[in-house]
A and B are shown apart, each in its own frame.
Chain A
Amino acid sequence: VTDDEGTDRAPETPSLEKRVTRPGRHVGDRYVRIVRPVDSGLRGHEGRYVATEEALLPSGRFARKLERMRRFLMGRPLDVGAEGEQQVTPLTGLAVLAPSNVSSSAYATEEILRALAIAGVAALVLAPPIALALVGVLGLVVLSESRVMRTYPSGGGSYLVARAELGTLPALVAASALLVDYILTVAVSVAAGVVAVLSAFPELSIYRLPVAVGLIALVALSHIRGVREAGALFAFPTYAYLGGMLALLAVGVVRVVLGDFPLAPPSPPLAPATDALLVLVVVRAFAGGAAALTGSEAVANVVPSFRPPQTRNAILTLLLMTSWLAAIFLGLTYLATVLGIVPDPAEIESVNSMVARAIFGAGPAHIALQFVTAIFLLVAANTGFAGFPRLAAVLANDRFMPRHFADRGARLSHSFGIFALAVVAAVVLVMFDASVTALVPLYTVAVFLAFFLSQSGMLRRSTRDREGRWWTWALFHGTGAAIFGGLVVAIVITRISQAWVALVLIPLLVLMLYSIHRHYRSVEDALVLPGDMRVPRVRPPVVVVPVARIDRAALQALAFARSISDTVKAVHVSTTRESGDEFRRRWQRTAPDIALDLVESPYRSLVPPLLRYIDALDKSDDRPITVVLSEFVPRHWWEWLLHSQTAFRLKAALLFRPNTIVIDVPYHHRDTADLSDRPGDTQS
């Protein structure tokens, strides 16, 4: 800052902007040079600055190259104003959210037929009514989820409903169920897809695990770039599957109507038909086929990801994807029944493949449809990556999950949640050797539990508020709660050998979420300001400077210590009395004005005696203790190995010591600090 005469005045506090008035060549000519942080990547003025994209660039050449590579993979950073750029239309949203839901059409029919086949071939005719009933339940899901989205448009789905209407514990059960669902959606779909794709290339099956983990990484990366990019990347397999299945159904129905009935492929003989336990078989078929309902829960969790009008677009997406699912599911079940398809007990060929082979014949169309189905199963992982990070962010905002889950990454996606999901799903895959299809019942239990809680919550809301035709909604949500509660019980009873994992995992997750919340609450209690508390004034601390040897680094630390307090004590740990005396003699020559304590450590230990010394000093004085450590910083990272890191060990030891401030004074290899006393320096 300069005055009108051009004389420099020292600023009171450092400022990023410097204005220097310069005289011009002519009399009276003046101009102001504004030295601003143009190159720093910061813009702004008058104490308010904005960090631009340039500020994110590292300074080193190697680091810049790494950053460029990161930007190539993950895209350039987006500022907070670009939120709208990452919101998706229903068409893009479908590519991300539909795979999990629609892909269940690839195995829901088979689940029904497989369950009915236990009661004999005659029981297979029950498949279309069961499928029809399930589509009815799907309609109930669509209606109730639409109402949830309208009532809770901020995302969070079943968790938010349960939290608002039923309380914390049911909300945490819903959240845990959904988290399990998303993790397993990723693991199961990737495993199933990889197996399906690699079955065409048996010699590559040994690479199943690395391919599956690599695929998880690819889907995670696409989601870190943003939901929109993920939607664009995975739109092709989604729409290819939809096109293929619709073509199959159209050709199949036309052939059936025209009487051009294709011959059913030969199937292995089944056990003789029996009427025993028919009811249980139908219940099992219904519970198995209910896998078709999974995936629809994700839309309610990601409403804020849609372009405005968000709720309308989210409902439209849900409606479109469930319509596709209903059409494909009903059509396939109808064709399978008409064609007399019996599921293969050896599970070598899927029911869908048998239907496609019967309709198209064993040619290129059949193979292409199988390949598209396999790829589509792979991208079903998308839904998990769309839902998990959003739900985790909602939970993190409510302090039930670590705060990093709520942070937005460079591309405005919840990158920590995406990363965490990828890691957990990969661990699950490795644990189950990329063969986790046995865990399907686990996540259907989780989904239905979440649906049950959300329906119960909405029922409670309807009966409490009693607005308009509340009894219609109460009846509707009551039916929904009964169906999903019943489905949970049915799956637990009929598939207890697999569903027990959910019964163990969900309570464990609830406990974890609750413990995290308890920690945050205690931290908040400790940190929150009572009323309008001001910055307190404290007395200067007692400063302790451990000195190993008298060198530039030590002198710099001592000079700094003297600048913050008048009470500075240096302490040196020596192994013998002689070396201690020698140190004191040299000390008298270099820093005679700073008190020195010597601690003799005949057992050659350094850190414990220092800690004991600090403890003793702390007891003798009620002022806070400040430990100033001098630390030599070598030029290259590998040179750290050549130094003993005493300061680092001491820092680590003092970190958890109460009433102790630790200040690190780094001495860089290139430092040429002027350590000579200047006039006006405080002398103690």
Chain B
Amino acid sequence: MQPKRVLVALAGTSADPDMLRLVASIAKAAKAEVIGIHVIEVRWNLPLDAVLEPELDRGEELLASAKKVADQAGFELDTELLQARDAAAAIVDTAVERKCDLIVVAMPFRRRLGRVYVGKTVQNVYVNAPCAVLAYRQEETR
């Protein structure tokens, strides 16, 4: 598969830098455009466009770090910050709107009682994405 436009969902986990390096190897080989997004989930008791200062600051910080990693890895990363009720829906909607043919998500997981929990965002992206989804699996550091 040679993707032309890749959407990377950045959640600010420890897996992000490694995931971006993996994306670099794919994007450089395919000469694909890469879009990095971070979605701030807004609680239902707040308006959707509420100004959430700490979350905005964190989002900007992690997008700036992602750009630095991308610079070092040698590809251009177009970044975008979103606010939504549900992160997975916003990721899928952005992928549709930007005509992406690959979504890359980090899948940091935890083991609890012998079972692996990956979180609802990754599962919902898997279920609803209209394109290929690549999940980068990495155990979450505590």
A residues neighboring B (CB under 8 Å): 19, 21-22, 24-26, 29-36, 38-39, 43, 45-46, 52, 54
The reply to whether B60 and A43 contact each other, CB–CB distance below 8 Å, is yes
Task: Tell yes or no: B27 within 8 A of A by CB.
Answer: no
Q: How far is the CB of B68 from chain A (nearest CB, A)?
A: 9
Offer 14 A-B interface pairs, CB within 8 angstroms, sorted by A: A22-B93, A22-B97, A24-B89, A24-B93, A25-B96, A30-B84, A31-B48, A38-B60, A38-B63, A38-B67, A39-B67, A39-B79, A43-B60, A52-B64
The reply to whether A33 and B80 contact each other, CB–CB distance below 8 Å, is yes
Task: Tell yes or no: B125 within 8 A of A by CB.
Answer: no
Question: Can you list the 10 inter-chain pairs with the closest CB atoms, starting with the nearest?
Answer: A31-B84, A32-B83, A31-B90, A34-B81, A24-B93, A32-B49, A43-B60, A38-B79, A19-B49, A38-B63
Chain B binding site: helix, strand, loop or mixed by DSSP?
Answer: helix
Residues of A within 8 A of B63 (CB): 38
Residues of A within 8 A of B89 (CB): 24-26, 29, 31
A54 vs B71: C-alpha distance when bound (angstroms): 13
A530 vs B52: C-alpha distance when bound (angstroms): 40
The reply to whether B93 and A25 contact each other, CB–CB distance below 8 Å, is yes
The reply to whether A34 and B79 contact each other, CB–CB distance below 8 Å, is no
The reply to whether B51 and A45 contact each other, CB–CB distance below 8 Å, is yes
Across the interface, B57 reaches (CB within 8 A) one of A19, A30, A43, A54, namely: A43
A648 vs B81: C-alpha distance when bound (angstroms): 44
Which residues from 44 to 100 on chain B have a C-beta closer than 8 Å to any C-beta of chain A? 48-49, 51, 53, 56-57, 60-61, 63-64, 67, 79-86, 89-90, 92-94, 96-97
Tally of contact residues, B, Cβ under 8 A: 27
Q: How far is the CB of A249 from chain B (nearest CB, A)?
A: 55
Q: How far is the CB of A50 from chain B (nearest CB, A)?
A: 10
Residues of B within 8 A of A38 (CB): 60, 63-64, 67, 79, 81
Most-contacted residue by chain A among B61, B63, B83 (CB, 10 A): B83
A54 vs B82: C-alpha distance when bound (angstroms): 22
Known A36-B81, A38-B81; contact A21-B60, beta-carbon cutoff 8 A: no
Residues of B within 8 A of A26 (CB): 89
Across the interface, A31 reaches (CB within 8 A) one of B57, B61, B67, B82, namely: B82
Residues of B within 8 A of A29 (CB): 86, 89, 93
Residue in A closest to B91 when the chains form the complex, CB atoms: A31
Residues of A within 8 A of B86 (CB): 29
The reply to whether A34 and B82 contact each other, CB–CB distance below 8 Å, is yes
A29 vs B51: C-alpha distance when bound (angstroms): 19
Across the interface, A32 reaches (CB within 8 A) one of B79, B82, B97, namely: B82
The reply to whether A54 and B96 contact each other, CB–CB distance below 8 Å, is no
The reply to whether B48 and A54 contact each other, CB–CB distance below 8 Å, is no
The reply to whether B92 and A25 contact each other, CB–CB distance below 8 Å, is yes
Known A21-B48, A32-B84, A38-B81; contact A45-B93, beta-carbon cutoff 8 A: no
Q: How far is the CB of A76 from chain B (nearest CB, A)?
A: 13
Q: How far is the CB of B77 from chain A (nearest CB, A)?
A: 10
The reply to whether A45 and B53 contact each other, CB–CB distance below 8 Å, is yes
Known A22-B97, A24-B93, A45-B56; contact A30-B81, beta-carbon cutoff 8 A: no
The reply to whether B90 and A24 contact each other, CB–CB distance below 8 Å, is yes
Known A29-B89, A31-B84, A38-B64; contact A21-B49, beta-carbon cutoff 8 A: yes
Residues of B within 8 A of A19 (CB): 49
A36 vs B61: C-alpha distance when bound (angstroms): 12
Q: How far is the CB of A382 from chain B (nearest CB, A)?
A: 36
Most-contacted residue by chain B among A35, A38, A46 (CB, 10 A): A38
Across the interface, B48 reaches (CB within 8 A) one of A25, A32, A36, A39, namely: A32
The reply to whether A36 and B60 contact each other, CB–CB distance below 8 Å, is yes
A260 vs B81: C-alpha distance when bound (angstroms): 82
Residues of B within 8 A of A30 (CB): 48, 84-85
Known A19-B49, A43-B60, A45-B53; contact A31-B83, beta-carbon cutoff 8 A: yes
Q: Given contacts A30-B85, A31-B89, A45-B51, could you give 5 more A-B pairs where the C-beta distance is less than 8 Å?
A: A22-B97, A24-B93, A31-B90, A36-B56, A43-B60
A35 vs B81: C-alpha distance when bound (angstroms): 7
Q: How far is the CB of B76 from chain A (nearest CB, A)?
A: 11
Residues of A within 8 A of B83 (CB): 31-32, 34
A33 vs B53: C-alpha distance when bound (angstroms): 16
Residues of A within 8 A of B51 (CB): 45-46
Residues of B within 8 A of A34 (CB): 56, 80-83
Residue in A closest to B37 when the chains form the complex, CB atoms: A33
Residues of B within 8 A of A21 (CB): 48-49
The reply to whether B60 and A33 contact each other, CB–CB distance below 8 Å, is no
Residues of A within 8 A of B61 (CB): 43
Q: How far is the CB of B82 from chain A (nearest CB, A)?
A: 5
Q: How far is the CB of A16 from chain B (nearest CB, A)?
A: 12
A30 vs B86: C-alpha distance when bound (angstroms): 9
Q: How far is the CB of B8 from chain A (nearest CB, A)?
A: 15
Q: How far is the CB of A98 from chain B (nearest CB, A)?
A: 41
A262 vs B12: C-alpha distance when bound (angstroms): 74
Q: How far is the CB of B81 from chain A (nearest CB, A)?
A: 4
A66 vs B50: C-alpha distance when bound (angstroms): 42
Residues of A within 8 A of B48 (CB): 21, 30-32
Residue in B closest to A28 when the chains form the complex, CB atoms: B85
Residues of B within 8 A of A35 (CB): 80
Residue in B closest to A36 when the chains form the complex, CB atoms: B81
A573 vs B53: C-alpha distance when bound (angstroms): 58
Residues of B within 8 A of A46 (CB): 51
A36 vs B93: C-alpha distance when bound (angstroms): 19
Residues of B within 8 A of A22 (CB): 93, 97
Q: How far is the CB of A413 from chain B (nearest CB, A)?
A: 26
Which residues from 118 to 137 on chain B have a C-beta closer than 8 Å to any C-beta of chain A? none
A38 vs B96: C-alpha distance when bound (angstroms): 23
The reply to whether B82 and A33 contact each other, CB–CB distance below 8 Å, is yes
A52 vs B68: C-alpha distance when bound (angstroms): 13
Q: How far is the CB of B33 from chain A (nearest CB, A)?
A: 15
Known A25-B92, A31-B90, A32-B84; contact A54-B56, beta-carbon cutoff 8 A: no
Q: How far is the CB of A106 from chain B (nearest CB, A)?
A: 50
Residues of A within 8 A of B79 (CB): 38-39
A26 vs B124: C-alpha distance when bound (angstroms): 14
A24 vs B81: C-alpha distance when bound (angstroms): 16
Residue in B closest to A25 when the chains form the complex, CB atoms: B93
Residues of A within 8 A of B60 (CB): 36, 38, 43
Residue in B closest to A30 when the chains form the complex, CB atoms: B48
Residues of A within 8 A of B97 (CB): 22
The reply to whether A54 and B81 contact each other, CB–CB distance below 8 Å, is no
Q: How far is the CB of A276 from chain B (nearest CB, A)?
A: 79
A46 vs B50: C-alpha distance when bound (angstroms): 11
A50 vs B55: C-alpha distance when bound (angstroms): 16
Q: How far is the CB of B25 from chain A (nearest CB, A)?
A: 24
Most-contacted residue by chain B among A26, A31, A35 (CB, 10 A): A31
Residue in B closest to A34 when the chains form the complex, CB atoms: B81
Residue in A closest to B93 when the chains form the complex, CB atoms: A24
Residues of B within 8 A of A39 (CB): 67, 79
Residue in B closest to A46 when the chains form the complex, CB atoms: B51
A35 vs B49: C-alpha distance when bound (angstroms): 12
A26 vs B88: C-alpha distance when bound (angstroms): 13
